[in-house]
Amino acid sequence: MFKRIFIFLLFGFVLAGCAEQRGIPILAPETFRHPVEENAPGTWVQVSTLPTARSEMPVAVSDGKFYVPGGFLGLRTLEAYDPTANQWTSLAAMPQGRHHAMSTGYDGKVYVFGGAYNTSWVPTNTTWIYDPTTDTWTEQTPMPETRMSGAALVLGDAIYVVGGVGGTEALLRYDPAADTWTTAASLPRHREHLAAVIFKGELWALGGRQSDSETLASVDIYDPTTDTWREGPAMQEARSGFGAAVVKDKIVAIGGEVLDQQPWQVLATAEVYDPAAGWTFLPDLPTGLHGLPVAATDDKVYALGGSVRAGAIENEGKVLIMVIGD
C-alpha cells in the first residue's frame, strides 16, 4: 500500500526579501507583482513561492490564512500564507517532523493528525493543535488507530479523518470540545492518497488508490445524518496524491499521480464538478504535480508546492492560482 519513493532532490529553500525569525514575514508581497484580482478565469498564474519547497504535506485554512505543516521528508516546518497580502510567515515548528499527515482548521486553530515520522513509512496516531495566538503546539488525545495519506475535514462541530494507510477503513470522528474520538461508518473501499471535501453538507472522498496497482476515479459520499455512504459521480480521470477544494459551489480536483502504468505518470490535469454539468476538465497546470495541497478563497483555487516527478521527491515551491468562473 505504501508509496514507493525515489529521492532525486531533497528540499531546497527559496527565500526572497526575507527575515528568518519566527513570526516575521519571510516572502515580501512585492516579489510577485501580478495582481491576483486581475487574473482571467481559467488561467493558471504563479503568485508566490513557498519559502520551503515541499510535497506530501497538507494545508489547513483558518481565519483566511493557509497553514502548511510538515512535508516529505518529515519537515517540522510550519509556514502560513496570507492570500490577501500574498505573504508568507514562518511559525513554531511542529513537535516532530511529519509527512503524509492530515490537517484542517477549526475554531481559529490548526489540527494536525497522524502522518509518518521523518524518513519512516510507519503511520502515527498523534493529534496536535497549533494556536496562532500563542504560536504554540499542544498534544491532544491520539487517534484510535494510526493513519497517514488520508484527509481531515470539518463537518458541523466535529473533525473527520477519512481514508489513508495504517488502520481500518473506519471514518474517525473527533470532538474538539471534548477531546474524544469515535468511529463512524467505514469507507466502502480502501482509499489512500485521496482528496476529500465537504460539499453541500456531505463528505466527498475523491479518487486516491487502493494499491500502487489501482488508481481510482470513483467517489464515495458520506451523509452524516444517516451515517451511510453512497457512490457519487466518478471523476473524468483516475488520480491519487492530488488536491481538491470547493470553489463557488463547485469541486475542483488538481494534479496527482498514477503508479499503475509504466512509466509512472504525474498529472497536470485539473477538473471541476458542477452539479448541473457533472465533471469537466479545466486548463492544465503549467507542469504535472503530485503531493500538493489545494485551498480556496472566494472564486480562487490555490495549488501549493508538490513534486514534479511521480513517485519521487522533486519539489516545486510555486503557489499557483486559478480563478473559477461561473
Quote the CA–CA distance of 242 and 4 in Å, as a whole number.
16
305 with 318: CB under 8 angstroms?
A: yes
**241 part of a folded domain:** yes
Average pLDDT over residues 170-186: 99
132 with 110: CB under 8 angstroms?
A: yes
Cα atoms in the Cβ-side hemisphere of radius 13 Å centred on 262: 0
Quote the CA–CA distance of 208 and 229 in Å, as a whole number.
17
Query: Which pLDDT score, from 0 to 100, does residue 261 have?
Result: 85
Query: Which pLDDT score, from 0 to 100, does residue 12 have?
Result: 33
Total domain count for the chain? Answer: 1
Q: Confidence class of residue 326 from pLDDT cuts 50, 70 and 90?
A: confident
- Cα–Cα nearest to 270, from 262, 279, 259: 279
Percentage of the chain modeled with pLDDT above 70:
88
**150 part of a folded domain:** yes
**14 part of a folded domain:** yes
pLDDT in tens, 46-89: 999 999 999 999 999 999 999 999 999 769 999 999 999 999 99
The residue segments making up the domain with residue 144 are 6-323
Cα atoms in the Cβ-side hemisphere of radius 13 Å centred on 175: 8
Average pLDDT over residues 93-111: 98
**209 part of a folded domain:** yes
Quote the CA–CA distance of 83 and 45 in Å, as a whole number.
14
Query: Which pLDDT score, from 0 to 100, does residue 38 have?
Result: 56
DSSP string, 239-285: -BS-EEEEETTEEEEE--EE-SSSS-EE---EEEEETTTEEEEEPPP
What is the longest distance spanned by two Cα atoms in the chain?
52
| Mean model confidence pLDDT for the chain | 90
pLDDT in tens, 260-318: 988 999 999 999 999 999 999 999 999 999 999 999 999 999 999 999 999 888 898 99
Q: Confidence class of residue 175 from pLDDT cuts 50, 70 and 90?
A: very high
Gyration radius of the chain's alpha carbons: 18
**1 part of a folded domain:** no
- Cα–Cα nearest to 307, from 2, 5, 1: 5
Instruction: Look at residue 29 and tell me whether its pLDDT is greater than 80.
Output: no
pTM above 0.95, yes or no: no
Return the number of other C-beta atoms located less than 10 Å from residue 256's C-beta: 34
Query: Which pLDDT score, from 0 to 100, does residue 41 have?
Result: 83
Query: Which pLDDT score, from 0 to 100, does residue 6 have?
Result: 34
Cα atoms in the Cβ-side hemisphere of radius 13 Å centred on 309: 11
Percentage of the chain modeled with pLDDT above 90:
81
Query: Which pLDDT score, from 0 to 100, does residue 22 have?
Result: 65
The DSSP letter of residue 264 is -
Task: Give the Cα-Cα-Cα angle 272, 242, 288 (nearest 5 degrees).
Answer: 90
Query: Which pLDDT score, from 0 to 100, does residue 212 have?
Result: 79
**158 part of a folded domain:** yes
Q: CATH code at 36?
A: 2.120.10.80
Peptide bond into 10 cis (omega under 30): no
**135 part of a folded domain:** yes
206 with 272: CB under 8 angstroms?
A: no
